[in-house]
Amino acid sequence: MKIFVFQTRRIGDFFQSIPLIETLSQRHSKNGDEQNKIDILIDESIFGIRNIFNSKINFITYQSLLNPLGISFKRLNEFDKFLSDFTSGYNIAVNLNYDFANSLFLSFFKNKKKGFIVLDKSNKTSDSVSRSGAANYLFNIVKNRSLNRIHITDLYSIIGSEKPAEIKTSYEIISLQKKAKSSKKRLNGEPVRICISIGATHPKRIWQSENYAKLIDLLYLNLNCEIIIVGTAEESSAAEEIKSKLPGSVYIIDLTGKTNLNELIYLIKDFDLIIASDTGTLHIAQIFNVPSVSVYTGNANFYETGPHIENSYVIHSAIQCYPCMQHEPCRYNYACKNDINPEDVFNLVLMQIIKSKLSYSFKEQKIKLSDVKKRVIANAKKGNFSVTVCKHLGSIHFYPLYKRKISKNEFASEIFKFCWINVLSKNSVKIDKNNVLRYTDKYYKIDESIVNSLIKEISFIKDVFENAYKSFYEFHKTDKKDLQDINENDYVLYFEKFKDAVKSLGLNYAYFKLASDYFIDELNSSGSQKSFDDIILLLNNAIDILKIF
Amino acid sequence: MNNNINFEIIKTKTPSAPSFKINGITVHSVYDPVSEAQKWAAQVMDGINSEGMPDKIIIFGMGAGYHIKALADFLKKDNKEIKIEVVEPAQESIEFIKSNFDVSELLYNINIIVLDRIGENQYLYAPAISQKLELDKGSILLCELPSYKKIFPEEHSLIHKLHGINQFFTPSSFKVLVVQPMYGGSSTIGNYLYSALLNLGYDAKILDFSKFYDAYKYMGEFTCNEDHVNSLKQSLFNLMSEALLSSVFNEPPDLVIFMAQSPASERTLLKLKGMGIKTAYWFVEDFRTLTYWNTIVKNVDYFFTIQKDDFFAELKNIGADNYHYLPLACLPDFHKKINEINEEDRTKYGSDVSFAGAGYYNRKNVFAQLVDFNFKIWGGDWYVGLPLSLLIQDGGKRFTEEEAVKIYNYSKININLHSSMWHWDINPNGDFLNPRVYEILACGGFQLVDRRKYMEGVFEDGKDLVVFDTVDDLRKKIKYYLANEEERLAISTHGRETVVKNHTYERRVREIMNIILLGSYEQIKYKLETRKENISKILKETEGNKELHDLIMQFSDKKSLSVRDIVERIKSGKGRLSKSEAMILMLWAIKSKLVKIEGL
């Protein structure tokens, strides 16, 4: 089978799509597993990564596709033929990106098409790029960031394969393998190799250089370690700044601007630990199963793009405005960065080192996991930060390091997370209520009044949708034969009015805003039946789960 | 780069037609190279039959010649007489081919052009290649041996671009805006550059900021506080930048060339970039004296300099990779030899020895030792005491460019001493050549110039001009050449020929455009190709595609149409996209993505 995947976003997103590509590449045949042939359209800037994949995965860029073609009218005839020939060879095409060019391209594929697609004309890109199911959900989490708890790796997988990501410690499609660790070297006291990735695409996501310097100093004092800073040439000045703030006795290896993407991947795969903000480097490290401690600030939402290896630690501010939704410079003087202290990141590194069996690198006395954890918890309670740990429950989840109170909106998002996965996977992933109860109870103190209030409210919202659907169905059934001639306007009007009502629900019940936006978009792309079915299933699921608390 | 190129003959399933490998890549099919060549030639013939007969076919890659022979046979069979030229990317490969394959008959009938080691600096070689292949003459079909594209990607890309440029680019359809500073030598150079652009047929405009100069000087009248004066001057600079943007918004150019000291603020440059306008900056200053270049170079697409070596090292240090060496030049239309002597002018501007330029520190020291000659000094900033002040003409007023031409023409010897604020007399490490070097020569003037690093290989001492190293040396040479008129005239005649042949502003424009067109090939191609085209021509071109043709027909009331017009019409419509509509939108979106000028 031949599959075409569009993933033209940055390197981080590309690596977060690896579990999906791995899943798509495997076809179960009578003789065992056999690989499908996959062509991936990627951005020109990351074309070099093709060398680390096996031969079944082929990489394409728009440059390579269209270089021979100009855009003159004369060439349009040639392009027509090219498109037709090119797209007919694929059995499945999956577009993972909300991107106009990709979405138009997808519309030309002849067979099964998934993800973002353009079918209609419109001046507004958001109106013309049609999306349904998981793609619609992905589109709507941008404006409802704080309500989303589904990881992008899972979302990509659900878009392409209708099930959450299958996280592995190594992927068959990648030919580059990690070096085997030698226990002998450990006994010989070889230093642990710690990678620090300072950069991120958005300035709000970059932790301050003095913090990195302090952290490095702590690492150097307490661990037998080799510290390597990686990043692009643009990050060299930041690395210089960090180095200038380090005591003379501390030595680090600065590789910022000195590696190309392939060299960077080659290095990352064999690090013992990575400390990073929300960077492409962190996501590459996840694919090579490198343990991590990450610092999430600004608009980097760990629920969405956090490290996906089980037991990865994320430290983030507990400030109300995190994750940030503003595009402008911060009004609160980047409080979300200031809330995170190097000492706490250092403690998390110690915890990760113990968990990853790298304790041989401690310079002095034996450090106990429980002691460090207690320190982190005590500091978190005093300060304004939280620590979250990645867990796998069939999909990627994040839970606090210690049991804490949960607000009504948070709890609703936590419950909806399980419901959404069920809905978006078209019911192929069933909800394990015991798991939900066990984990939610373990990590959160839940006030009974919150549960009761949510049951009441969600039941009300469900009634609104069920009644609306019933009346629509009656309306539709009655006038069906004359719909096109006479009542088309009434039909449209009906939905416009109902959309307004749904918008109000989203405004009045904040936790429902993501679902209400999803419904409105779904109605435009997939029609009424699926939109109502999805939301009613979502709400029913939520009520069912809430009733077990 | 063609270094370490290796070859290996390989047997094929067709014993009579062997193939070979270059750097491990197989050039022809290992099964049947002859039938592969025939298929290739048939495809080329299809192209010729559908697109029309070209005047010439250029084939990239000689290989073992199977494909060339097949094409020649097809052309002969169809009675088509088209000239074939073959471009072979490396000297080593053509030698290997000649000694291992029987291509003697082919070589007799076709013209082979060998490019060697062009990968090192494509910009340097590009003009010569264009000229060799005569890419600007007639219609040319460029085709390639597919394996050569992989083996010689840099050479292939260069030929492909050069061919493309000659297809889509005409100076008259390219809008260039030259932005001048308020004052100074670079504004004169800006004027010459502008004239050269017009001479070459570019749609050029110039933005003159000289009227702001009075205001600039006037700022000092308001306050003695230097910080306040600087702040006022900065506000004026910002105002000029805004004025520049207004002009650009009014009529967007394709390229803006900023001369040194012009109002190129970061905001302006970023705005221009956002509009998809290419920006170039010609820093015709000494990088050691004026150091603001480090803020400019990061924000412009192309940064041209009159210095290399140390300057390039500095630029590299700050992470720049967009810099190119572009020395100064002359404008032969303006810097002319005066053949009809005007006695009045000769009396005023003539002398045994002259110097035209500003009174820099080192010049004052050197010229104080030449007061015993019939020596005239022209220009401003010569605040000196006697006896040098007796030599200063017109009370130390600035001279016009027209006057400079007269001075260079009527002086028996023109001294050219490069300025220095740090050296007592002659800067022993001076590198770049000032405009005077070229201008005196173009006027047919005899020039005595201090030794400069970049003189080497450009002008020959004793043949084009005469170089001095010390003041004593200068004095000796003045005396010698005053006494030897014939020798003086022979040198100035030769110098004139050299400068007019190799160092004109027209040539510099070609060099600039060559770098920009190759460097921004896709963006400029995209821009020019998507300009409005004649509607009847488009209707004719789309006749074979009914849906597309019908779509274009909707615009038949217009005279001309661009792809962008159609994109906008489609987007403003409602309902489902047709296949042609989706295709146009998609092509537009991809192209926008590729050239990174979304929304242009």
What is the Cα–Cα distance from A38 to B98, expressed in whole angstroms?
A: 43
Which residue in the set B544, B552, B563 is minimally distant from A71, CB to CB? Answer: B563
Specify if A441 maps to a domain.
no
- Count other C-beta atoms under 10 Å from residue B544's C-beta: 10
In this structure, chain B runs to a length of 600
Mean pLDDT computed over A460-471 = 92
- pLDDT of the residue at A31: 58
Specify if A424 maps to a domain.
no
Mean pLDDT computed over B344-363 = 94
Specify if A126 maps to a domain.
yes
- pLDDT of the residue at B337: 95
Same domain, B220 and B233: yes
Residue range A220-231, pLDDT digits in tens: 999 999 999 998
Domain CATH number, residue A69: 3.40.50
Nearest chain A CA: its distance from B559 CA (Å): 15
User: What confidence tier does A74 reach under pLDDT thresholds 50, 70, 90?
Assistant: low
Q: What HEC string does B519-570 produce?
A: HCHHHHHHHHHCCCEEHHHHHHHCCCCHHHHHHHHCCCCCCEECHHHHHHHH
* Helix ranges (DSSP H) in A432-527: 433-443, 448-478, 488-508, 513-526
**CA A544, chain centre distance (Å):** 27
Across A307-311, A527-531, B472-476, least confident range = A527-531
Specify if B332 maps to a domain.
no
Residue range B174-232, pLDDT digits in tens: 899 999 998 878 899 999 999 999 999 898 999 999 889 999 989 888 888 888 888 89
Which of chain B's residues have a Cβ under 8 Å away from the Cβ of A65? 590
* A115 and A107 Cβ atoms separated by less than 8 Å: no
Which residue in the set B545, B579, B591 is minimally distant from A71, CB to CB? Answer: B591
> Exposed (0-12), middle (13-18) or buried (19+): which is B479, by Cβ within 10 Å?
exposed
What is the Cα–Cα distance from B591 to A146, expressed in whole angstroms?
A: 35
- pLDDT of the residue at A202: 65
Catalogue the long-range contacts made by B587-593 (C-beta closer than 8 Å, 24 or more residues apart): B587/A66, B587/A69, B587/A71, B587/A76, B587/A79, B587/B563, B588/A71, B588/B563, B588/B564, B589/A100, B589/A101, B589/A104, B590/A62, B590/A65, B590/A66, B590/A101, B590/A105, B591/A66, B591/A71, B591/B526, B591/B530, B592/A101, B593/A62, B593/A101
Specify if A340 maps to a domain.
yes
Same domain, B293 and B396: no
* Contact criterion met (CB < 8 Å) for B580 and A72: no
Same domain, B385 and B448: yes
Closest residue of chain A to B583, computed from CA coordinates: A80
Angle of helix B33-51 versus helix B66-77 axis, rounded to 10: 50
Domain finish residue from B136, B168, B200: B168
**CA B564, chain centre distance (Å):** 30
User: What confidence tier does B343 reach under pLDDT thresholds 50, 70, 90?
Assistant: very high
Range of the domain at A320: 183-400
- pLDDT of the residue at A28: 60
β-pairing, B533-534 with B560-561?
A: antiparallel
What is the Cα–Cα distance from B237 to B232, expressed in whole angstroms?
A: 9
What is the Cα–Cα distance from B284 to B290, expressed in whole angstroms?
A: 10
CB-based contact (8 Å) between B318 and chain A?
Answer: no
Same domain, A263 and A329: yes
Specify if A223 maps to a domain.
yes
Domain CATH number, residue A369: 3.40.50.2000
Same domain, A202 and A270: yes
- The counts of H helices and E strands in chain B are 25, 20
Which residue in the set A71, A121, A123 is minimally distant from B575, CB to CB? Answer: A121
Domain finish residue from B465, B486, B503: B503
Which of chain A's residues have a Cβ under 8 Å away from the Cβ of B572? 121, 123
Same domain, A77 and A112: yes
* A208 and A216 Cβ atoms separated by less than 8 Å: no
* A323 and A142 Cβ atoms separated by less than 8 Å: no
Q: What HEC string does B389-454 produce?
A: HHHEHHHHCCCCHHHHHHHHHHEEEEEECCCCCCCCCCCCCCCCCCHHHHHHHHCCCCEEEECCHH
Residue range A102-159, pLDDT digits in tens: 999 999 999 999 999 999 998 888 889 999 999 999 999 988 988 999 999 999 999 9
Residue B181's nearest CA partner among B322, B281, B70 is: B281
CB-based contact (8 Å) between B143 and chain A?
Answer: no
What is the Cα–Cα distance from B84 to B74, expressed in whole angstroms?
A: 13
- pLDDT of the residue at A486: 47
Nearest chain B CA: its distance from A478 CA (Å): 26
- pLDDT of the residue at B588: 82
Instruction: Give the mutation candidate from B318, B553, B585, B595 for the A interface (greatest A CB count, under 10 A).
Output: B585
Task: Give A408-424 as a DSSP string.
Answer: HHHHHHHHHHHHHHHHH
Specify if B147 maps to a domain.
yes
Same domain, B373 and B459: yes
Q: Where are the beta strands (DSSP E) in B237-386?
A: 255-259, 278-283, 302-305, 323-325, 351-356, 375-378
Same domain, B384 and B482: yes
The DSSP secondary-structure symbol of A43 reads -
CB-based contact (8 Å) between A119 and chain B?
Answer: yes
Supply B462's token pair. Answer: 């004793």
Same domain, B439 and B573: no
% of chain B with per-residue pLDDT over 90? 59
Domain finish residue from A362, A383, A400: A400
Decide which of B113 and B120 is more confident.
B113
Nearest chain B CA: its distance from A63 CA (Å): 7
Mean pLDDT computed over B229-253 = 88
Supply A461's token pair. Answer: 């919202």
Domain CATH number, residue B66: 3.40.50.1100
Same domain, A146 and A229: no
Residue range A237-272, pLDDT digits in tens: 889 999 999 998 899 999 998 998 999 999 999 999
% of chain A with per-residue pLDDT over 90? 66
- The predicted complex's ipTM stands at 0.87
A403 has pLDDT over 60: yes
Instruction: Give the mutation candidate from A73, A117, A128, A488 for the B interface (greatest B CB count, under 10 A).
Output: A73
- Count other C-beta atoms under 10 Å from residue B266's C-beta: 12
* A1 and A93 Cβ atoms separated by less than 8 Å: no
Which residue in the set A76, A107, A120 is minimally distant from B548, CB to CB? Answer: A76
Specify if B476 maps to a domain.
yes
Same domain, B123 and B252: no
Residue range A489-506, pLDDT digits in tens: 676 777 788 899 999 999
Domain CATH number, residue B498: 3.40.50.2000
Nearest chain A CA: its distance from B546 CA (Å): 10
User: What confidence tier does B333 reach under pLDDT thresholds 50, 70, 90?
Assistant: very high
Range of the domain at B65: 7-168
- pLDDT of the residue at A483: 46
Same domain, A452 and A334: no
Same domain, A224 and A192: yes
Taking one residue from A and the other from B, the number of pairs with CB-CB distance under 8 angstroms is 93
Residue range A342-387, pLDDT digits in tens: 999 999 999 999 999 888 888 877 889 999 999 999 999 998 899 9
Tally of domains in chain B: 4
Same domain, A157 and A196: no
Residue A399's nearest CA partner among A417, A419, A424, A382 is: A417
Same domain, B423 and B497: yes
Specify if A373 maps to a domain.
yes
* B362 and B424 Cβ atoms separated by less than 8 Å: yes
Supply B454's token pair. Answer: 């970049």
Which residue in the set A71, A74, A118 is minimally distant from B526, CB to CB? Answer: A71
**DSSP element (H, E) containing A124:** none
- pLDDT of the residue at A292: 97
The B residues from 521 to 540 touching A (CB cutoff 8 Å) are 525-526, 529-530, 533, 538
* Contact criterion met (CB < 8 Å) for A121 and B533: no
- pLDDT of the residue at A488: 61
Residue range B86-100, pLDDT digits in tens: 999 999 999 999 999
Nearest chain A CA: its distance from B363 CA (Å): 42
Q: What is the mean pLDDT of chain B?
A: 89
What is the Cα–Cα distance from A183 to B390, expressed in whole angstroms?
A: 90
Closest residue of chain A to B590, computed from CA coordinates: A101
User: What confidence tier does B537 reach under pLDDT thresholds 50, 70, 90?
Assistant: confident
Which of chain B's residues have a Cβ under 8 Å away from the Cβ of A233? 319
β-pairing, B25-26 with B19-22?
A: antiparallel
**CA A393, chain centre distance (Å):** 16
A397 has pLDDT over 90: yes
Task: Give B470-529 as a DSSP string.
Answer: SHHHHHHHHHHHHH-HHHHHHHHHHHHHHHHHH-BHHHHHHHHHHHHHHHTHHHHHHHHH
* Contact criterion met (CB < 8 Å) for B529 and A71: yes
* A324 and A313 Cβ atoms separated by less than 8 Å: no
Specify if B514 maps to a domain.
no
Nearest chain B CA: its distance from A64 CA (Å): 11
Same domain, B372 and B270: no
What is the Cα–Cα distance from A275 to A252, expressed in whole angstroms?
A: 14
User: Could you give the maximum distance between any two Cα atoms of chain B, in Å?
Assistant: 92
- What amino acid is encoded at B71 in this protein? L
% of chain A with per-residue pLDDT over 70? 91
Q: What is the mean pLDDT of chain A?
A: 89
Give the contacts of B275 (CB within 8 A, at least 6 positions apart).
Answer: B248, B252, B600
CB-based contact (8 Å) between A108 and chain B?
Answer: yes
Same domain, A65 and A27: yes
What is the Cα–Cα distance from A152 to A13, expressed in whole angstroms?
A: 8
Instruction: Please report, in angstroms and rounded to a whole number, the separation of the first and last CA atoms in chain B.
Output: 36
Residue B207's nearest CA partner among B264, B274, B150 is: B264
User: What confidence tier does B599 reach under pLDDT thresholds 50, 70, 90?
Assistant: very low
- pLDDT of the residue at A30: 56
What is the Cα–Cα distance from A414 to A426, expressed in whole angstroms?
A: 19
Domain finish residue from B466, B487, B503: B503
Closest residue of chain A to B568, computed from CA coordinates: A123
Specify if B321 maps to a domain.
yes
* B250 and B267 Cβ atoms separated by less than 8 Å: no
Which of chain A's residues have a Cβ under 8 Å away from the Cβ of B563? 71-73
Same domain, A144 and A286: no
CB-based contact (8 Å) between A128 and chain B?
Answer: yes
Which of chain B's residues have a Cβ under 8 Å away from the Cβ of A83? 583
Which of chain B's residues have a Cβ under 8 Å away from the Cβ of A70? 168, 525, 529
Same domain, A187 and A156: no
CB-based contact (8 Å) between A127 and chain B?
Answer: no
Specify if B491 maps to a domain.
yes
Across B20-29, B223-232, B484-493, least confident range = B223-232
The B residues from 543 to 562 touching A (CB cutoff 8 Å) are 544-545, 548, 552
- Count other C-beta atoms under 10 Å from residue B70's C-beta: 22
Instruction: Round the CA-based radius of gyration of chain B to a whole number and report it.
Output: 30
Residue range A159-176, pLDDT digits in tens: 999 999 999 999 999 998
Domain finish residue from A130, A161, A192: A161
Which residue in the set B529, B572, B582 is minimally distant from A104, CB to CB? Answer: B582
Specify if A419 maps to a domain.
no
Same domain, B122 and B30: yes
Q: Is the dihedral of CA A110, A113, A119, A122 positive or negative?
A: negative
What is the Cα–Cα distance from A74 to B288, expressed in whole angstroms?
A: 52
Supply B6's token pair. Answer: 């290796």
Same domain, B319 and B215: yes
B347 has pLDDT over 60: yes
What is the Cα–Cα distance from A535 to A538, expressed in whole angstroms?
A: 5
Specify if A175 maps to a domain.
no
Tally of domains in chain A: 3
Same domain, A262 and A339: yes
A33 has pLDDT over 70: no
Supply A53's token pair. Answer: 């994949």
What is the Cα–Cα distance from B500 to A353, expressed in whole angstroms?
A: 73
Which of chain A's residues have a Cβ under 8 Å away from the Cβ of B168? 70
Same domain, B435 and B560: no
Mean pLDDT computed over B528-557 = 81
Supply A83's token pair. Answer: 């498109």
Same domain, A45 and A82: yes
* Contact criterion met (CB < 8 Å) for A71 and B552: no
- pLDDT of the residue at A290: 96
